[in-house]
């Protein structure tokens, strides 16, 4: 997700604008929209829109806590091992050969009632060493009955409803399963009559109907577009701490599930079209409806965005079919064509950059949806949702003047594509360990910028090196403001502002400074090995450190100083 981070950057950039506006003239059209400044990729293909002003950033990412730099990090350690550590650049990421969970769904979208529902046959097995005498499922849509629980003010009117669920059946004996909702209404407890032994398989069948609330959210209906995500009762993750019942929060993710195969049939009103996780396999039209069949292998969840107003653009980007979908009327907006060109450019370069750095994107397709969205963007397997206002050019300044750029679009699209590796391919407990999700993904923004070697990289590096995180005095200030250590759960921060500053901004810098110490290509080889080793599993915090120490050894003084200051290493064996 990329939400308040953008707001914070915007605020810091506005301070910069205040200083610059007195001397830099800007045209009326862009002045009305100015939201920030920063880096702009320089497209290298003729077909790609070139922003009207090439920006040399005058300001880049500014973490929210002011720290007076006293030292500057410089790469000083020789790489401990040769760059050939781990698999080669651009290596393939193969789907696992082990038996995967399987969701078979027959669904119907009722566009008038704003509901999605149907029947699910979910086949799975106990993949732990513990016997399961109950099952835990998560039902996030029911939380939209309480605005505070989903990140809105208490006075906000939401039209969410408790999900209607019936007919939980255990395939092993055909018995109906009794179940209850926890105090947290998103947590369902199913009392299975016969415990599920380690390795034992069963099919859980059930029916559900979910209300889609009228909000511009990752789960919601607005302006004719249904964003239908985290929408069906899904098996919670069972890890060494048992069933994960971490609370939902609106500023990030608590989503934590097992990679599964999906076969899904959705019936829509005639004229509707959807972008989904996975790929479309069949289309069957009836008098007033259309039914699509989708197959989605090896993903953590299935989501879709649907509308009868969608326009679609499709291109091959680095051997991946990239579809951009948006309401047709957006095409009349200023600079829309340029924004779409740049979106394709950003998708292609992100897939290239991350494929080289972490292993190639293993799926056929990637969908990018533009809709009204309160957050800047949100990631799902094979599908990202980007706020439509990100497509507006923002004013940037450089030494020769000012002009519009799509800095926010590039940052947002590359960030959400980065999540395809760090969330999608390597999962983690995103609520309890957000640094494994959002901090690493924020670092991928820099991997993208470095791959392009664009004009902003030097300035970004300068900003990211201004505070030496190996320095205890510097770190102490950041610890006092909750920016460090970064391996805290969302729930441990005193407010979401501090969470965002720590996990997104400082987390990004922590990873960048690891790169400085170990070397650019060398650090990417560490991440590539981490992805290779933990692909399609849920990694634990110490898994990352295991790979890191395998490369760097445990005696690298600079790395150890950084890790000691930026992580609470005492947590590694017990946290999850
Ligand atoms: Zn994110």
Q: Which residue has the higher pLDDT, 272 or 51?
A: 272
**Rounded-to-integer distance, Cα 245 and Cα 149, Å:** 14
Chain position carrying tokens 């179940």: 179
- Indicate the angle between helix axes 520-534 and 336-358, nearest 10 degrees: 80
What distance in angstroms lies between residue 433's CA and the mean position of ligand 1's atoms?
Answer: 13
Q: What is the pLDDT of residue 461?
A: 84
Q: For residue 105, what are the β-bridge partners?
A: 120, 264
Lowest-confidence region among 48-52, 246-250, 554-558: 48-52
Does one domain contain both 432 and 463?
A: yes
Does one domain contain both 119 and 242?
A: yes
What distance in angstroms lies between residue 273's CA and the mean position of ligand 1's atoms?
Answer: 27
What distance in angstroms lies between residue 441's CA and the mean position of ligand 1's atoms?
Answer: 6
Q: Is the pLDDT of residue 351 over 70?
A: yes
Q: Is the pLDDT of residue 377 over 60?
A: yes
What residues make up the domain containing 139?
Answer: 101-258
Calculate mean pLDDT across residues 120-132.
98
Q: Which residue has the higher pLDDT, 90 or 408?
A: 90
Does one domain contain both 356 and 433?
A: yes
What distance in angstroms lies between residue 246's CA and the mean position of ligand 1's atoms?
Answer: 18
Q: Quick check: is 279 in a domain? A: no
Q: What is the pLDDT of residue 396?
A: 73
Does one domain contain both 321 and 179?
A: no
Does one domain contain both 67 and 108?
A: no
Does one domain contain both 533 and 389?
A: yes
| Listed residues 231, 258, 285: the one ending a domain | 258
Calculate mean pLDDT across residues 259-285.
98
Q: Is the pLDDT of residue 161 over 80?
A: yes
Q: Which residues contact 400 (CB under 8 A, 6 or more apart)?
A: none
Q: Quick check: is 301 in a domain? A: no
Which bin fits 414, alpha (ψ -120 to 50), beta or left (φ > 0)?
alpha
What distance in angstroms lies between residue 439's CA and the mean position of ligand 1's atoms?
Answer: 8
Q: What percent of the chain has pLDDT over 90?
A: 77
Q: What is the DSSP string of 11-65?
A: HHHHHHHHHHTTT----HHHHTT-----------STTS---SS----S-----SS
What distance in angstroms lies between residue 408's CA and the mean position of ligand 1's atoms?
Answer: 14
What distance in angstroms lies between residue 508's CA and the mean position of ligand 1's atoms?
Answer: 11
What distance in angstroms lies between residue 412's CA and the mean position of ligand 1's atoms?
Answer: 9
Does one domain contain both 503 and 411?
A: yes
Q: Mean of the per-residue pLDDT values for the chain?
A: 87
What distance in angstroms lies between residue 255's CA and the mean position of ligand 1's atoms?
Answer: 13
Q: What is the pLDDT of residue 392?
A: 85
Q: Is the pLDDT of residue 271 over 90?
A: yes
Lowest-confidence region among 62-71, 199-208, 330-339: 62-71
What distance in angstroms lies between residue 39's CA and the mean position of ligand 1's atoms?
Answer: 19
Q: What is the pLDDT of residue 450?
A: 92
514-535 pLDDT, tens digit each? 999 999 999 999 999 999 999 9
| Listed residues 258, 284, 305: the one ending a domain | 258
What distance in angstroms lies between residue 571's CA and the mean position of ligand 1's atoms?
Answer: 23
What distance in angstroms lies between residue 434's CA and the mean position of ligand 1's atoms?
Answer: 9
Does one domain contain both 377 and 525?
A: yes
The domain total for the chain is: 2
**Rounded-to-integer distance, Cα 467 and Cα 487, Å:** 19
What distance in angstroms lies between residue 377's CA and the mean position of ligand 1's atoms?
Answer: 8
Q: What is the pLDDT of residue 25?
A: 27
The two structure tokens encoding residue 391: 């497509």
Does one domain contain both 384 and 442?
A: yes
What distance in angstroms lies between residue 411's CA and the mean position of ligand 1's atoms?
Answer: 11
Does one domain contain both 110 and 78?
A: no
| Listed residues 230, 258, 286: the one ending a domain | 258
What distance in angstroms lies between residue 542's CA and the mean position of ligand 1's atoms?
Answer: 21
Q: Which residues contact 447 (CB under 8 A, 6 or more apart)?
A: 353, 354, 357, 418, 524
Does one domain contain both 444 and 412?
A: yes
Does one domain contain both 471 and 506?
A: yes
Q: Quick check: is 512 in a domain? A: yes
What distance in angstroms lies between residue 419's CA and the mean position of ligand 1's atoms?
Answer: 7
What distance in angstroms lies between residue 531's CA and the mean position of ligand 1's atoms?
Answer: 17
CATH classification of the domain holding 167: 2.60.40
Q: Quick check: is 541 in a domain? A: yes
What distance in angstroms lies between residue 378's CA and the mean position of ligand 1's atoms?
Answer: 7
Q: What is the pLDDT of residue 289?
A: 98
């Amino acid at each position: 997700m990329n939400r308040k981070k953008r707001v914070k950057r915007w605020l810091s950039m506005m301070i910069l604008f205040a200083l610059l506006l007195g001397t830099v003239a800007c045209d009326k059209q862009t002045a009305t929209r100015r939201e920030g400044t920063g880096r702009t990729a320089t497209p290298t293909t003729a077909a790609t829109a070139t922003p009207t002003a090439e920006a040399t950033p005058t300001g880049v990412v500014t973490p929210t806590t002011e720290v007076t730099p006293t030292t500057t990090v410089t790469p000083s350690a020789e790489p401990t091992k040769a760059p050939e550590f781990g698999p080669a650049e651009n290596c393939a990421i193969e789907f696992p050969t082990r038996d995967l969970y399987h969701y078979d769904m027959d669904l119907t979208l009722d566009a008038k009632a704003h509901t999605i529902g149907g029947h699910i046959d979910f086949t799975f097995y106990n993949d732990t060493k513990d016997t399961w005498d109950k099952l835990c499922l998560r039902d996030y849509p029911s939380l939209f009955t309480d605005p505070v629980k989903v990140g809105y003010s208490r006075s906000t009117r939401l039209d969410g409803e408790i999900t209607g669920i019936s007919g939980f059946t255990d395939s092993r004996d055909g018995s109906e399963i009794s179940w209850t909702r926890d105090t947290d209404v998103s947590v369902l407890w199913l009392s299975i009559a016969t415990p599920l032994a380690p390795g034992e398989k069963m099919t859980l069948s059930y029916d559900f109907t979910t209300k889609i609330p009228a909000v511009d959210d990752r789960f919601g209906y607005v302006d004719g577009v249904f964003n239908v995500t985290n929408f069906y009762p899904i098996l919670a993750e069972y890890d060494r701490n048992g069933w994960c019942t971490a609370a939902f929060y609106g500023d990030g993710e608590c989503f934590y599930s097992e990679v599964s195969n999906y076969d899904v049939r959705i019936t829509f009103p005639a004229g509707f079209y959807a972008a989904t996780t996975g790929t479309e396999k069949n289309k069957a039209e009836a008098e007033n409806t259309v039914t699509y069949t989708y197959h989605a292998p090896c993903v953590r969840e299935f989501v879709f965005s649907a509308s009868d107003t969608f326009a679609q653009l499709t291109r091959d980007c680095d051997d991946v079919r990239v579809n951009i979908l948006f309401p047709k009327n957006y095409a009349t907006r200023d600079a829309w064509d340029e924004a779409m060109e740049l979106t394709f450019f950003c998708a292609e370069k992100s897939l290239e950059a991350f494929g080289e750095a972490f292993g190639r994107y293993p799926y056929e397709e990637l969908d990018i949806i533009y809709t009204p969205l309160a957050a800047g963007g949100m990631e799902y397997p094979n599908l990202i949702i980007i706020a439509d206002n990100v497509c507006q050019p923002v004013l940037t300044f450089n030494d020769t003047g000012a002009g519009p750029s799509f800095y926010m679009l590039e940052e947002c699209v590359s960030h959400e594509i980065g999540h395809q590796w760090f969330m999608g391919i390597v999962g983690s407990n995103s609520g309890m360990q957000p640094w494994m999700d959002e901090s690493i993904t924020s670092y991928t923004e820099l991997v993208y910028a470095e791959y392009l070697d664009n004009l902003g990289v030097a300035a970004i590096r300068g900003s990211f090196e201004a505070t030496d995180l190996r320095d205890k005095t510097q770190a102490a200030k950041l610890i006092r403001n909750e920016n460090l250590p970064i391996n805290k759960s969302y729930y441990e921060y005193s407010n979401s502002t501090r969470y965002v500053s720590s996990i997104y901004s400082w987390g990004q810098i922590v990873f960048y400074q690891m790169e400085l110490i170990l070397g650019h290509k060398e650090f990417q080889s560490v991440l590539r090995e981490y992805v290779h080793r933990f692909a399609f599993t849920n990694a634990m915090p110490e898994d990352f450190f295991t790979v890191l120490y395998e490369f760097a050894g445990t005696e690298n003084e600079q790395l150890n100083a950084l890790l000691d200051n930026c992580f609470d290493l005492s947590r590694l064996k017990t946290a999850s």
